[in-house]
């Protein structure tokens, strides 16, 4: 029987194991610092059926998705809703959004993907700063030491040892309540560095329906890529 490939192993002071199948199908294992290679393989083998099933579902989702061509009529997610794209020739503004649809300048259509990405990143930074510093940081009594927008392919957010929060720009395409879940998730990591029972207890206290939001991200996260 062929061994299952582990794409990334994250070791920390945690006491338990966590297995994640990323949106691209890669396998991420979070393990205690001193865990041996043999123990890791046993954990993976024990979860073999679940891992293979999950990776199959992820790959099927990706196959169902058609790569964006950035042509007129295509739709793009923003804060959980779909908006149609229109092309306006000779427009001086590369990309506009009027809360009803996107307008892309025909003069910049050759760089449409980069233009959309830059626009999303800007919106993401402004919104995440607002939700983090303006709402949840005061609510939880936890202050981050900085906020960055990343281009991560496998993680929606992270918290550094120094307390800097990193958020994937693609989350700006998700509904606001999902964005808020990731904000709370990472803010609490400032005090609780692992996913212990204490950690999840604090998440649940701050956001009682966090499991529902987390499941939405697991099931629909693949839709936030183009």
pLDDT tens per residue, range 43-74: 999 999 999 998 888 777 665 566 889 999 99
Identify the structural domains of the chain with CATH numbers, from first to last.
Answer: 8-64 (no CATH), 112-224 (3.30.2010.10)
What single DSSP character describes residue 132?
I
CB 181 within 8 A of CB 154: no
**Taking the model in full, what pTM does it have?**
0.74
Going residue by residue through the chain (226 aa), what tens digit of pLDDT does each one get?
667 999 999 999 888 999 998 877 889 999 999 999 999 999 999 999 999 998 888 777 665 566 889 999 999 999 999 999 999 998 889 999 999 999 999 999 999 999 999 999 999 999 999 999 999 999 999 999 999 999 998 899 999 999 999 999 999 999 999 999 999 999 999 999 999 999 999 999 999 999 999 999 988 888 898 8
> b/e string for 110-120 if b means 16 or more Cβ within 10 A?
eebeebbeebb
Of 166, 159, 169, 185, nearest to 226 (Cα)? 169
CA distances from 84 to 97, 99, 174 (A): 10, 10, 16
């Amino acid at each position: 029987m062929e061994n299952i490939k582990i794409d990334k192993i994250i070791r920390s002071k945690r006491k338990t194991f966590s297995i994640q199948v990323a949106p691209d199908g890669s396998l991420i294992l979070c393990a205690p610092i001193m865990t041996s290679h043999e123990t890791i393989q046993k954990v993976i083998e024990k979860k073999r059926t679940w891992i293979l099933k999950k990776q199959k579902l992820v790959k099927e989702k990706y196959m169902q998705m058609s790569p964006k061509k950035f042509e007129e009529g295509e739709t793009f997610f923003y804060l959980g809703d779909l908006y149609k794209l229109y092309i306006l020739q000779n427009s001086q503004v590369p990309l506009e959004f009027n809360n009803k649809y996107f307008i892309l300048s025909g003069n910049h259509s050759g760089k449409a993907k980069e233009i959309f990405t830059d626009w999303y990143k800007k919106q993401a930074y402004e919104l995440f700063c607002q939700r983090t510093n303006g709402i949840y940081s005061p609510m939880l009594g936890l202050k981050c030491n900085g906020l960055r927008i990343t281009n991560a392919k496998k993680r929606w957010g992270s918290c550094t040892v120094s307390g800097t929060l990193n958020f994937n720009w693609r989350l700006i395409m998700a509904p606001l309540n999902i964005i808020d879940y990731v904000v709370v998730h990472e803010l609490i990591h400032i005090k609780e560095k692992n996913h212990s029972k204490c950690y999840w207890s604090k998440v649940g206290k701050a956001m009682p329906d966090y499991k529902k939001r987390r499941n939405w991200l697991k099931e629909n996260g693949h839709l936030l890529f183009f």
